[in-house]
A and B are shown apart, each in its own frame.
Chain A
Amino acid sequence: MKRFARIVAGCLASLALAAPAWAQSPAPAGVGVIDVSSSNAPVTGMQLFVPAGLDRQPRDRSGLAAVVAQALVRTPVHGVPLADAIAQAGGSVTYAVDGQETHFYLEATPSHFAEVASLFASALAQPAFDRASISSAAAHAADRAAQNNGDGLTVGVAMFRSVYLARTNARLSTWGNAATLAQITPLDAADFFRANYVARGAIIVGVGNPSPGLREGEQAITRELPDRRPSPVVVSRQLPVKARSRELITHRDVPAPWVVLGYDAPSPGAPDFAAALVLESLIGQAVGRGLAPPLVATPSEGERPVGSIYLFDTVPSAVVIYANGAGGDPTLAVRTVATVVQTLTASPLSEADLSLAKAQATGDFLMQQAALSDRSWLAGNFAREGAGDDYSSKVLTAIAAVSPVRLRAAAKRYFSHYVTSIVLPREGRS
Chain B
Amino acid sequence: MTHRLAAAFLALAFVAVPLGAGAATLHPARAIVETGDGPPLAAVELWFRAPSSGFAGPLVGLAQLAAESVAASQGHGEPLAALVQDRGGRLAIATFSDSVQVSALVPASSAVEIARAAFEDYTRPALTEDGFKHARASVAVEAAEAQADPDAQLRARLFGSLFSGGPDRFASLPTVAQLGALDYGDVVAFAKRAFRAENAVAVVVGVHDAAPVLEALGGSAKGEPAEPPAVSTPTSSPARIHGDSIAGPALGLAYAGPPIADRRAATAMDFLSDYLLARKTGTLVRAVAGVSPSASVGGQFITLNDPGILLVEVTGDASDAVRNAVESTLRTAEQPLDPKAFEIAQRQYVYHLLHDLQTVQAQADNLGWYAVEGAPSYAPFAGGEQGEYMTLARGLTPAYVAEVARRYFAATPAVTTLVPMPPAPPKAPGSAPQQEEKAK
Contact = CB atoms under 8 A, between A and B. Distances in A.
Tell me, yes or no, whether A binds B: yes
Contacts of A92: 351, 355
Interface string A173-187: 000000000000000
A360 interface: yes
- Which 10 interchain pairs have the tightest Cβ spacing? A363-B88, A90-B347, A359-B88, A298-B90, A42-B354, A296-B68, A90-B351, A296-B138, A38-B38, A293-B141
A112 interface: yes
B432 interface: no
A416 B73 CA distance: 39
A362 B88 contact: yes
Contacts of A370: 39, 41, 105, 359-361
Contacts of B381: 42
A367 B89 CA distance: 9
B53 to A, nearest CB: 20
Interface in B329-357: 344, 347-348, 350-351, 354-355, 357
Interface stretch (B2-10, B79-87, B241-249, B307-315): B79-87
Interface string A1-14: 11000000000000
B348 A87 contact: yes
A89 B340 CA distance: 12
A78 B361 CA distance: 38
Interface of B: 34-41, 68, 71-72, 81, 84-93, 105-107, 110, 134-135, 137-138, 141-142, 145, 280-281, 344, 347-348, 350-351, 354-355, 357-361, 381, 384
Nearest to A357: B88
Contacts of B354: 42-43, 109
Nearest to B72: A296
Interface in A1-55: 1-2, 38-43
A146 to B, nearest CB: 14
Contacts of A364: 88
Contacts of B135: 296
B360 A88 contact: no
B138 A366 contact: no
B37 A363 contact: no
A363 B107 contact: yes
B355 A1 contact: no
23 contacts: A40-B38, A42-B355, A42-B358, A43-B354, A43-B358, A109-B347, A109-B350, A112-B351, A208-B358, A296-B134, A297-B71, A297-B81, A297-B91, A297-B92, A297-B93, A298-B85, A359-B88, A359-B107, A363-B89, A366-B107, A370-B41, A371-B358, A375-B39
A186 B337 CA distance: 40
Contacts of B38: 1, 38, 40-41, 375
A285 to B, nearest CB: 10
Nearest to B360: A370
Interface in A324-368: 356, 359-364, 366-367
Contacts of A40: 34-38
A71 to B, nearest CB: 19
Given A92-B355, A298-B85, 5 more contacts: A1-B37, A40-B34, A88-B348, A296-B91, A297-B92
A91 interface: yes
A361 B351 contact: no
Contacts of A107: 355
Contact of B68 (A89, A289, A297, A367): A297
B88 A361 contact: yes
| Interface range, A side | 35 or more
A352 to B, nearest CB: 10
Contacts of A90: 347-348, 350-351
Nearest to A45: B358
A367 B105 CA distance: 8
Interface in A88-143: 88-92, 107-109, 112
Contacts of A1: 37-39
Contact of B88 (A296, A360, A372): A360
A123 to B, nearest CB: 18
Nearest to A372: B358
Given A367-B105, A370-B39, A43 B351 contact: yes
Nearest to A84: B281
A317 interface: no
A204 to B, nearest CB: 19
Contacts of A208: 358
Given A87-B281, A91-B351, A366 B39 contact: yes
A418 B347 CA distance: 50
A392 interface: yes
A81 B86 CA distance: 48
A175 to B, nearest CB: 19
Interface string A298-319: 1000010000000000000000
Nearest to B79: A296
B347 A89 contact: yes
A343 to B, nearest CB: 19
A171 to B, nearest CB: 32
B274 to A, nearest CB: 12
A360 B107 CA distance: 9
A176 B90 CA distance: 37
Interface string A58-94: 0000000000000000000000000000011111100
Contacts of A87: 280-281, 348
B66 to A, nearest CB: 11
B36 A296 contact: no
Interface string A361-404: 11110110111100100000000000000001000100000000
Contacts of B357: 42
A42 B355 CA distance: 7
Nearest to B82: A296
B8 to A, nearest CB: 26
Contacts of A38: 36-38
Given A41-B38, A88-B347, A109-B354, A363 B87 contact: yes
Contacts of B384: 42
A392 B39 CA distance: 8
Most buried by B among A2, A89, A370: A370
